[in-house]
Amino acid sequence: MSFFNQKKKSPVWIQKTHYLKADEFICSACGFKAKKAFRTCPGCKAQISKVKYEASWVDEAEFVDMMFDD
């Protein structure tokens, strides 16, 4: 678990890309959900300069396939 062993963990925006919805940016420090990657988190006022991409749309795309498959 080397990810958790960093000396100083600075917060990042976790970018969630959705298949049908607009992208979401989630603050790793407080979990605030934003429409864009602000320099300062509106939730916890942390300075955030990094965006970590998380492809969550893959599962949603499969779900959409199921919905339209008849």
Least distance to Zn ion from the beta carbon of 45, Å? 7
| Among 17-25, 43-51, 52-60, 61-69, the segment contacting Zn ion (CB under 5 A) | 43-51
Note whether 51 binds Zn ion by CB under 5 A. Answer: no
Residues within window 2-41 making contact with Zn ion, judged by CB under 5 A: 27, 29-30, 32, 41
Query: Quick one: which of 43, 56, 57, 60 contacts Zn ion (CB under 5 A)?
Result: 43
Cα torsion angle, 28, 52, 9, 49, sign: negative
Cα torsion angle, 51, 55, 6, 43, sign: positive
Name the token pair of 51. Answer: 């965006």
